[in-house]
Structure 1
Amino acid sequence: MGILSRASYVIRSKLNTLISSAEDPSEQLDYSYEQMRDELQDVKQGIADLTTQKKRLEIQKRRLEENVEKHNEQAREAVRQDREDLARRALEKKKSKMSQIEDLETQIADLQQTQDNLVSKKDELQQQIEQFKTEKETMKARYEAAEASTRVSEAMTGAGDEMEDVSRSIERAREQTQDMEARAEAMDELEGSGALENAMDDRSDIEKELDSGRADAEIESELDTLRQQEGVETESESTAETTDAEDDTLEDLDATESSDPDVETELAELQDDESN
């Protein structure tokens, strides 16, 4: 599989499989993008190596061309000196160098064609990587938006694991609070009924009764004071006024009976009967 075909396969496979993957698509997309960039870098390195090799062949070709020119001058010089044997040897070397130059030109042309193809594929691969980058960022944004929406929905509905733990914690706290409130009410009730004595209270039952009576008397006295301040008649004053009124009524009756002549006559007759 060629470099460009492999890169295209990577792009298609990653985009088709990342959505359904159990791992974080954002991380996988970033990883795939870095892999593609590494592949592009390998392609660029291959082009650079190929260009270097072509340059070496071109340098070798120039040296051979210089040798060809040198052997050509040698052949001319040999002819001028009437040394045909040396001229022939120089021309033979010139021909050998020219043959090597033709082979190098063929290799250089092949390398140039390969370099041009690689540069074209490199540009196409780079364009695909840029397209993948755009799709990657778009997909990451969509995934992050969907993830945020899911978290908000879970938080609002309590469907998430964290909210479920929070709900259980609140329920346990509510139950513990209710148990503690019930216990406090029970302790207050027992203490109020006397069933549960205060461990710090060392008074005897008689002392408690006397203290309770004194407290009641103090309360009644304070109530009488408040009634007097507000102009409200107290129960003792009302009773005293009623008693005084009854006494006045009895005295009036006695005075009336003592001043009535008929009553005096009847009393005198009753006294005479008793004496007889």
Structure 2
Amino acid sequence: MGILSRTSYVIRSKINAVLNRAEDPNETLDYSYEQLRDELQDVKQGIADLTTQKKRLEIQKRRLEENVEKHNDQARQAVEQDREDLARRALEKKKQKMSQIEELEGQIAQLQSQQDSLVEQKDELQQRIEQFRTKKETMKARYEAAEASKRVNEAMTGAGDEMADVGRAIERAEEQTEEMEARSQAMDELQDSGVFEDALSDQDQIDRELEEMASSGEVDAELETLKSEMGKSDAGPETETSGDTEEEADLEAELAGNGEGTTEDVETPDVDDSEVEAELEELKDDEQS
């Protein structure tokens, strides 16, 4: 196969594939049906033309037959008048007319045969058209049912072009949603870690650490003040002095007022250093928590 032949074959195959994809069976069937009806109409028109020609020949034949009768009468009249020459001429014309009549009869018979054949072809073609019409409607109904079934199956399986577009749209929506969710979570995480505040603040890392240390020192100082007020300083329990503490003085005054004895009668309890240390640790734990 030469290059031109191969090229022509490829082009024809491509065109045929395009036509197959673009072809609508319903339109093709309707077009074929109309073509058959046009052919039937042509056959009917041919029968009508043939019949017209036959009728013209039949009319011409009748006229010749009338002339034959006329020439026959002329020959008889000439014989009665002893005019054999006129009778001979009339008989010669009669013979010519009869010869023409025989020729016309042959042509009329031929046209009648053609007419009968065309009528049979017309009847057969009309019958085939009716059969094709029934089959056409059946095929169209089957095609429409198959097309509807295909659309339903494509919709159920998502294999159709429209469903594929819908599937891609859903995928894009899911991707965008996931991206937005991830971005939102990242923003929350950055906000919790203080990145946004750092970005808006003029302090650097050293300033922030120093500020945290100063804040921690203020808490420690406040804790020491609180422990001092509660008599639980880290310096240990205060040693006993020769003088009375304020609490002992208040206690002696209260006992004196109640008449229950003097301060000599009340013994000052010894302070256990381990208990103080345990209570101090408990207080530190509460402050840290």
Whether TM-score is above 0.5 comes out as: yes
Residue ranges of structure 1 left out of the alignment (5+ in a row): 1-20, 206-250, 268-276
Tell me the matched-pair count: 201
User: 3-state DSSP class of the match of 2:196?
Assistant: coil
Q: Deviations over 1:151-186 (max 9, x none)?
A: 101101112232122211210121012212322343
Q: What is the distance in 2 between the residues matched to 1:128 and 1:148? A: 30
- 1:151 aligned residue: 151
Q: Which amino acid aligns with 1:121?
A: Q
Aligned partner of residue 186 in structure 2, secondary structure: helix
Matches within 5 A, 1:257-268: 257-263=256-262, 266=265
RMSD after superposition: 3.0
> For 1:252 and 1:167, how far apart are their aligned partners in 2?
89
AA at the equivalent of 2:53: Q
Q: Distance in 1 between matches of 2:72 and 2:57?
A: 22
SS at match of 1:262: coil
Say whether 1:182 aligns with 2:175.
Answer: no
Kept after mapping to 2: 8 A contact 1:258/1:264:
no
CA deviation vs aligned residue, 1:112-142 (integer Å, no higher than 9, x gap): 1221222122112111110111011111101
In structure 2, the CA distance between the partners of 1:255 and 1:115, relative to structure 1 (3 Å rule), is same
Cα displacement string for residues 200-229 of structure 1 (whole angstroms, at most 9, x for unaligned residues) = x9x999xxxxxxxxxxxxxxxxxxxxxxxx
User: Given the two structures, how large is their TM-score scaled by the length of structure 1?
Assistant: 0.63
- Give the deviation of 1:104 after TM superposition: 1.1
Q: How far apart in 1 are the matches of 2:262 and 2:98?
A: 186
Q: Distance in 2 between matches of 1:134 and 1:93?
A: 60
Alignment of 1:72-111 (within 5 A): 72-111=72-111
Contact residue 252 and residue 262 of structure 2 kept, 8 A:
no
Partner of 1:115: 115
**Structure-1 separation of matches of 2:119 and 2:60:** 24
Correspondence list, 1:112-261, <5 A = 112-191=112-191, 194-196=194-196, 255-261=254-260
Displacement, 1:145? 0.3
| 2:37–2:129 contact (8 Å) kept in structure 1 | yes
Distance 1:63 1:253 in 2: 176
1:73 is displaced (CA, Å) by: 2.7
C-alpha distance 100-165 of structure 1, shift in aligned 2 (>3 A): same
Separation (CA, whole Å) in 1 of partners of 2:145 and 2:63: 65
Q: Which moves more between the two structures, 72-81 or 151-160?
A: 72-81
Shift of 1:76: 2.9
1:262 is aligned with what amino acid?
Answer: G
Amino acid at match of 1:104: L
TM-score, reference length from structure 2: 0.61
The match for 1:224 is: none
Q: Which residue of 1 aligns with 2:24?
A: 24
Structure 2: stretches of 5+ with no match in the other structure: 1-19, 204-249, 267-289
